[in-house]
Amino acid sequence: GDQVEQSPSALSLHEGTGSALRCNFTTTMRAVQWFQQNSRGSLINLFYLASGTKENGRLKSTFNSKESYSTLHIRDAQLEDSGTYFCAAEGSNYQLIWGSGTKLIIKP
């Protein structure tokens, strides 16, 4: 069935640096969402993309449906960015297909 491969599974960054997370899809997806799971367990919606690129503060996300991937870039990482990040792709039947998550640790 449809699958989402998310990488890396874990990432450690020093404050002020940046990196990128990636989700690859095995089939064409309608849209992708990126979430941050915070320390309280809530899933905070960061981006919803049907195509192209969106930017919000220090975060930028791209969704390339043709090449079946999406990325989430974090720059100038801050301590409060720590948490687990998930991508969730919207399949052809509008169901959410989740990536396995990236545990992000920001070090002072």
Footprint on this chain of other proteins (rule: CB under 8 A): 33, 35, 37, 40-45, 48, 84, 86, 88, 95-98, 100-101, 103
The enclosing H or E element of 94 equals: none
- Of 7 and 18, nearer to other proteins (C-beta) is 7
- Alpha-carbon distances, residue 80 vs 43, 52, 83 (angstroms): 14, 27, 8
Minimal distance, residue 16 CB to other proteins, in Å? 25
Nearer to other proteins, 1 or 108 (CB): 1
Closest CA to 77 of 108, 101, 45, 39: 108
Min dist CB 41 to other proteins, Å, is 4
